[in-house]
């Protein structure tokens, strides 16, 4: 009956009648009920539905998405062997040979991690492992899975867009009657995504010259108050919570659907209940200091040189500390981030421009805490703390950016609302390496050399160029009024 209960919850979720927060709450109740009844149950009723090896791929510190999958699968009767984050293919092979899982689940956040999945799949194949792979994560797509990961593994690879779809696929694979059907459906869908059996349409790429966008050169460059390194060791987390984007926290992570402002103002019972749980968790975080907010930032003199951004120690320096090369749009506007920075002058006597770099983190100890809570069956709390930490990192970036604008002498108008700030309606732009306008994650190394966040705030770079802890954000801040987001 308990298994049926969870199946029912799964169906409600799939039919959009239950949201992530409710699934986690139900899982808490279910875990408590199982613990209570287990001594009275026979082996058949406690038997596992299957064994799943779960991991975030090498170089990747992404934990929260994997954990949601872990909780949901575990509470649906699967035995989960969670190998954690940054798991090398050798470890996966060793553990797969030891545990002989029915399914191997891989998670990853960045595009780089999707490529790591291809390498991992190839290594698993070479080691003779044949268990189906279940893959998921923010930057992964069904097409990438079909065209890159599945051919590398040559065994079934199934892509899940979210944790509940992951459960649904696992259930179908473990059901002897459903298994051939789901595998055949997956094969067909992936063949079609690879374009097999379809006449290829050759895209013609326009090769016309790309005009440069009209960005006005500024007469008055705002001057920062200093060019020294600033370190914040214990920033006020209550203040950061006010900058957490509710759409991300309640909508994206906890799954509330619809217009949040309206749900809350009209006292929607489900929305209010979840808000109350989250606020209680926020109060506990503040009281027990679970989240520690740290930042390191510095203004630098800067000049643009074509598509390169030159960074200097001081306005009078002639030798650049480092340079960043950014891509230029091939489309109509032909934008490049360097268009928003004053160019290298003929004479170095003229004033340079300035930029700011920063790294913030709210993640120290969060992964361990979330894992302990998960083990205790406090699923919603475990997930909400992790979601609050990552959204606090983003909120802290927003808050620090506002502070930087004020230090720079370009504060926001007093009447600017929080919503306008989330919509980036202030002067200037904040971009992070990995974003579409500056996609090269290798640039993280140069940023880390300039700010040394490992020394000052204990944020390190993995070999996959992700920051550890997970709840960390790095950014480049530009002040030009015309600076805005674009894709290359
Ligand atoms: Co950022 N981030 N981020 N980020 N972030 C992305 C992924 C990005 C696409 C944004 C963008 O550019 N538009 C981009 C990656 C692009 C690329 O790869 N080049 C990006 C970047 C660049 C970065 C940084 C590098 C930026 C920087 O600071 N320089 C940085 C890296 C962090 C680090 O190094 N530690 C960073 C930071 C962050 C935050 C910390 C602020 C925050 C949290 C990240 C996190 O989830 N751990 C964040 C967020 C929130 C995002 C977006 C907006 C949303 C990600 C998300 O939904 N997370 C994302 C853009 C987007 O997707 N729209 C973006 C919540 C989590 C529960 O979802 O892990 O996807 P996810 O899990 C889902 C499903 O994917 C699935 O189930 C879960 C839900 O049910 N799933 C599986 C996952 N694993 C599965 C396994 C399965 C089955 C299903 O079976 C085994």
pLDDT tens per residue across span 236-272:
999 999 999 999 999 999 999 889 889 998 999 989 9
Residue 215 has pLDDT above 90, yes or no: no
pLDDT in tens, 67-117: 999 999 998 889 999 999 999 999 999 999 999 999 999 999 999 999 999
Residue 61 has pLDDT above 90, yes or no: yes
For 221-238, what is the mean pLDDT? 97
**Cα of 97 to ligand 1 centre, how many Å?**
30
CB distance 434 to ligand 1 below 6 Å: yes
pLDDT at 423: 85
| Closest-CA residue to 143 (of 113, 114, 106, 171) | 114
DSSP 316: T
Output the CA torsion 113→117→118→119 (10° steps): 90
Please, which pLDDT band fits residue 370 given cuts at 50, 70 and 90? Answer: very high
Residue 373 has pLDDT above 80, yes or no: yes
CB distance 56 to ligand 1 below 6 Å: no
**Cα of 477 to ligand 1 centre, how many Å?**
21
**Cα of 76 to ligand 1 centre, how many Å?**
25
pLDDT at 344: 75
**Cα of 163 to ligand 1 centre, how many Å?**
14
Q: How far apart are CA 105 and CA 84, in angstroms?
A: 11
Cα 389 to Cα 231, 253, 381: the distances in Å are: 19, 12, 12
**Cα of 109 to ligand 1 centre, how many Å?**
5
Strands 50-56 and 460-461: unpaired
**Cα of 21 to ligand 1 centre, how many Å?**
19
Give me the DSSP letters along 359-412.
Answer: EEE--TTHHHHHHHHHHTT-HHHHHHHHHHHHHHHHHHHHHHHHHHHHHTT-PP
CB distance 400 to ligand 1 below 6 Å: no
pLDDT at 197: 58
CA-angle at 293, arms to 411 and 25, nearest 5° = 115
SS3 262: helix
For 409-438, what is the mean pLDDT? 92
CB distance 169 to ligand 1 below 6 Å: no
CB distance 461 to ligand 1 below 6 Å: no
Q: Are 123 and 89 in contact (CB under 8 A)?
A: yes
Please, which pLDDT band fits residue 17 given cuts at 50, 70 and 90? Answer: low
pLDDT at 318: 85
Q: Which residue has the higher pLDDT, 155 or 30?
A: 155
**Kind and range of the H or E element at 232?**
strand 230-235
Please, which pLDDT band fits residue 20 given cuts at 50, 70 and 90? Answer: confident
0.85 surpassed by pTM = yes
CB distance 343 to ligand 1 below 6 Å: no
Mutate to test the pocket of ligand 1, among 138, 167, 173, 247 (most ligand atoms within 8 A of CB): 138
Mutate to test the pocket of ligand 1, among 109, 145, 157 (most ligand atoms within 8 A of CB): 109
Q: How far apart are CA 293 and CA 376, in angstroms?
A: 26
CB distance 460 to ligand 1 below 6 Å: no
pLDDT in tens, 459-474: 999 999 999 999 999 9
Q: Which long-range contacts (CB under 8 A, 24 or more apart) does 88-94 make?
A: 88/58, 89/58, 89/119, 89/120, 89/123, 89/124, 90/123, 91/55, 92/53, 92/55, 92/120, 92/123, 92/124, 93/123, 93/124, 93/127, 93/129
Strands 472-478 and 429-431: antiparallel
Closest C-alpha to ligand 1, atom 76? 162
Closest C-alpha to ligand 1, atom 41? 394
**In DSSP terms, which residues pair with 231 in a beta bridge?**
296
Q: Are 316 and 355 in contact (CB under 8 A)?
A: no
Q: What is the mean pLDDT of the chain?
A: 90
pLDDT at 320: 93
CB distance 393 to ligand 1 below 6 Å: yes
Residue 404 has pLDDT above 90, yes or no: yes
pLDDT at 15: 55
For 129-150, what is the mean pLDDT? 96
């Amino acid at each position: 009956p308990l298994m049926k209960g969870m199946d029912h919850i799964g169906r409600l979720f799939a039919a959009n009648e239950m949201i992530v927060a409710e699934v986690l709450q139900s899982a808490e109740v279910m875990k408590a009920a199982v613990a209570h009844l287990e001594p009275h149950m026979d082996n058949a009723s406690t038997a596992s539905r299957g064994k799943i090896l779960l991991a975030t791929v090498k170089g990747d510190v992404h934990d929260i998405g994997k954990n949601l999958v872990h909780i949901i699968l575990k509470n649906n009767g699967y035995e989960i062997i969670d190998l954690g984050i940054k798991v090398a293919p050798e470890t996966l092979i060793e553990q797969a040979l030891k545990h002989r899982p029915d399914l191997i689940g891989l998670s990853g956040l960045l595009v780089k991690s999707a490529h790591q999945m291809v390498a991992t799949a190839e290594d698993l194949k070479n080691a003779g492992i044949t268990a189906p792979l279940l893959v998921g994560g923010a930057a992964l797509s069904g097409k990438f899975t079909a065209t890159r990961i599945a051919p590398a593994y040559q065994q079934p690879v199934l892509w899940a867009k979210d944790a509940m779809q992951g459960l649904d696929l696992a259930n179908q694979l473990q059901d002897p009657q459903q298994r051939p059907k789901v595998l055949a459906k997956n094969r067909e869908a992936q063949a079609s995504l690879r374009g097999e059996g379809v006449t290829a349409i050759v895209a013609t790429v326009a090769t016309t010259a790309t005009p440069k966008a009209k960005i006005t050169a500024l007469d008055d460059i705002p001057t920062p108050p200093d060019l020294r390194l600033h370190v914040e060791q214990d920033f006020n987390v209550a203040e950061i919570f006010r900058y957490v984007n509710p759409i991300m926290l309640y909508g994206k992570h906890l799954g509330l659907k619809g217009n949040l402002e309206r749900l809350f103002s009209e006292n929607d019972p489900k929305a209010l209940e979840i808000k109350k749980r989250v606020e209680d968790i926020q109060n506990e975080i503040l009281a027990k200091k679970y989240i520690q907010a740290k930042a390191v930032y510095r203004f630098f003199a800067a000049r643009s040189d074509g598509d390169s951004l030159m960074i200097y120690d001081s306005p009078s320096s002639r030798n650049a500390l480092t340079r960043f090369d950014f891509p230029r749009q091939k489309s109509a506007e032909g934008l490049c981030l360097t268009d928003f920075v004053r160019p290298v002058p003929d004479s170095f006597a003229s004033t340079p421009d300035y930029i700011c770099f920063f790294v913030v983190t709210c993640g120290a100890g969060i992964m361990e805490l979330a894992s302990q809570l998960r083990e205790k069956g406090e699923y919603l709390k475990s997930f909400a703390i992790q979601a609050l930490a990552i959204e606090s990192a983003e909120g802290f970036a927003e808050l620090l950016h506002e502070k930087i604008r004020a230090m720079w002498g370009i504060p926001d108008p007093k009447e600017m609302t929080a919503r306008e700030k989330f919509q980036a309606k202030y002067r200037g732009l904040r971009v992070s390496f990995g974003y579409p306008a500056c996609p090269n994650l290798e640039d993280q190394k140069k940023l880390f050399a300039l700010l040394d966040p490992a020394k000052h705030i204990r944020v390190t770079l993995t070999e996959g160029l992700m920051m550890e802890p997970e709840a960390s954000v790095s950014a480049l801040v530009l002040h030009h009024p015309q600076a805005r987001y674009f894709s290359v």
